[in-house]
Structure 1
C-alpha cells in the first residue's frame, strides 16, 4: 500500500516543545498587508520610546537626553502607550497589543507616590511646639515680584523661600512693610543675572549659614522657632538641559548631602528642584529621610510647572522637603502672574 509524503509527515509525532513554540510564533508574527504593517510600525515607535523611559525608571536611572526630560512627565506616557494599543489593534498585531498593555500597566504602577519607607511616616517624637507656614515661589527672572508680595500679605507665611529674585525683587523685599513683617532675612540678588538671585525671609530669628553651592544661588540659614534651631535651605539646582545633565545631577547630589549631613536635626529644603519623584536623583534625596510635603497630604501629582498648562498638564518640580521633626498638615499651590511656576504654600507642625 502506497502513502504520500504528506501522509508520512502527518503521521510523525510532534515534539512537545514545537507544540508550545508554534502558537508563540503565530502570536508574534507581524501583520500581513501593507496597511497593517504601516500601522504596526506606527505603534512600535511610541511604544519603544515609552519602554526606554520606563526601563530607566525601573533601573533607578535618569539616563541621557531626552529621558530625564520625559521622566518629568511620566504620567503622560499613558497617552503614547494607549495610542500604541489602538494602532496595534488596528494592525491586528497581538504582540503589539500585549506590549502596549504592559507599558500602560507599568506606567500606572509608577504613578503612585514615591514612599521610600513603604508605609506611613513615623510619628515625630514629642509634642507640637509651633505651627509653621512656608511659602516657596520661583519668580521667573523677578517677573512675579508683585504677585509674591500680594501672596505674602494674603497668606501670611512664617518662612518664605524665593528663587530667581532679581534686583527689583530685592528692592520690593526691602520695603518697610516687608521688613516689618520679616525682620530676619538673607537676600542674594545679582545685577544683570535675574535667574541667579534667591532669598529667605523669616519672622523668626535667623542666622545665615553656608548654603549649597550651585550655578544659581541657594542660600541657607538656621532659624530658631520656639527655641528649636531649624535648618532652612533654598533649592534651585540647574534644570536638566541637554548637554548639562552632569550639573543637574551634581547639584541635586549636593542637596542630598546637605540633608544627610543634618542627621536628626530639624531641616527644611524648599524651592524649585527642577526634578520630580520620577527622577532618580530626586528620589535619592528623599531616601535620606526627607519627606515631600505635598505628596504627604495627598497632592502628589499636582503640577507646579509650567503654569500656563498647570494644573491640567505639567510636572511637580517645586517642593518643600522636611525632616521627621516637621510634619506636613496641608499644602496648596498658588497661581502668581508673570511666572512659569506656581507657588507652593505648606502648613507644618514642628515637634
Structure 2
C-alpha cells in the first residue's frame, strides 16, 4: 500500500499533474515521500519475510526516482563568479498573518539584519499602523503600501515606478524599482492564491507571474508567499520560463521550511515563501527567522548584482 501511494505521488510530481488540480496540495510532501521511499527500501532489504528480488528492484527504482529530482537543490550552484566588490541588496519577506505578526519583533529583525527592501503580505491598514508605531518608517522610509491589495514594499532605498502589478492574479501584487550600484532592480512582492482554496486560480496566478518574469529582464527579484514549493509544476515553470533562480536551491539549502510557523506542536513542514531572482543577480546568503504572531517564517536573503559579463545564461 505504501509503495502504491508513493508511486502515485511520484507520477503526479514527474508529470506535473498538480497544476490546476487537487494534487497541488499533497505534492508539497514530495521530499517526505523521498524519505519514506528510502526507508521502505531499507525495510524491504532488512526483513527476510518480505524481501524478494523483484520487490527490491521496484523499491530501489522508486527511491532513485524520488531522490534524483531533489539532488540539484542540495548542491550549491557555482555557474557565475561574484566579484568581491559587487553591490549587494539585502531583502526579506514575511506574511504577517493579516497583521498579527509582532510589529516590534519585525522592526528589530529589519534593524539587526540590515534589510534594504522588505516585502510583506497580508498586511491590512491596522498592520501598517502597528509597524509605523513600532518605528519601521524610520528604518525603511520609502514605501509602496497597498493594504487593499494585500502586499506592500518597504525600503531603505528610494522606490520608483511603484504600484500594483498589471497581471491576471487573484489580487494585485505590488511592484517598485530600486537602484543598486547604478542599476535599476525591479522588486515584486508576491502573494498568490492558495491551492487548497482554488487550484485553478492559484495556477493562473503562477502563470501570470511567469509571464511578468519573462518580460522583466535579468535584474528582477520576486519575493513573498507563493503558496508553492519547488515541487509544484507551476513553480518550476516560473523558474525556467521566467528566467528566475530560487535562492535557497541556488545555495544548496533546498529543504528550507517556512510554514506553518508558531503552530505548536507542528514544526514548519514545507517551504511556501521564496526569494527568486533573475540572472543579473546571485544569491550570497539566505536564512529563515520566526516572528511571533505569524504562521509563516520570514525569509532573508543577500543578493549580489553581477557584472554583465558574469551573468548566468
Q: TM-score, normalised by structure 2?
A: 0.84
Please tell me whether the aligned partners of residues 185 and 221 of structure 2 are also in contact (alpha carbons under 8 angstroms): yes
* 2:147 counterpart SS class: strand
Structural mapping, 1:20-39, within 5 Å? none
Distance 1:259 1:63, change over 3 A: closer
Aligned pair count reads: 297
Distance 1:78 1:176, change over 3 A: closer
Structural mapping, 1:224-263, within 5 Å? 224-241=179-196, 244-263=198-217
1:187 to 126, 129, 145: 145
Q: Distance in 1 between matches of 2:246 and 2:266?
A: 19
Distance 1:209 1:228, change over 3 A: farther
CA RMSD of aligned residues (A): 2.8
Structural mapping, 1:1-351, within 5 Å? 45-62=1-18, 65-81=21-37, 85=41, 86=43, 90-91=49-50, 94-114=53-73, 120-123=78-81, 128=85, 130-146=87-103, 147-175=105-133, 177-190=135-148, 197-207=150-160, 208-211=162-165, 212-241=167-196, 244-264=198-218, 266-287=219-240, 288-307=242-261, 308=263, 314-351=269-306
Q: Distance in 2 between matches of 1:274 and 1:310?
A: 22
Structure 1 range deviating more: 93-102 or 220-229:
93-102
Q: Distance in 2 between matches of 1:246 and 1:122?
A: 37
CA drift of 1:160 comes to 0.2
CA drift of 1:94 comes to 5.0
Q: Distance in 1 between matches of 2:146 and 2:249?
A: 30
CA drift of 1:152 comes to 1.5
Structure 2, unmatched stretches of 5+, are: 307-313
Distance 1:202 1:77, change over 3 A: same
Q: Distance in 2 between matches of 1:311 and 1:330?
A: 27
Please tell me whether the aligned partners of residues 89 and 304 of structure 2 are also in contact (alpha carbons under 8 angstroms): yes
* 2:11 counterpart SS class: helix
Distance 1:83 1:348, change over 3 A: closer
Q: TM-score, normalised by structure 1?
A: 0.76
For each residue in 1:288-316, what CA deviation from the matched residue of structure 2 results, as whole angstroms up to 9, or x when unmatched?
32111122222111111122479965112
CA drift of 1:129 comes to 5.0
Q: Distance in 2 between matches of 1:149 and 1:176?
A: 7
Q: Distance in 2 between matches of 1:98 and 1:226?
A: 55
Distance 1:130 1:87, change over 3 A: closer
CA drift of 1:203 comes to 1.3
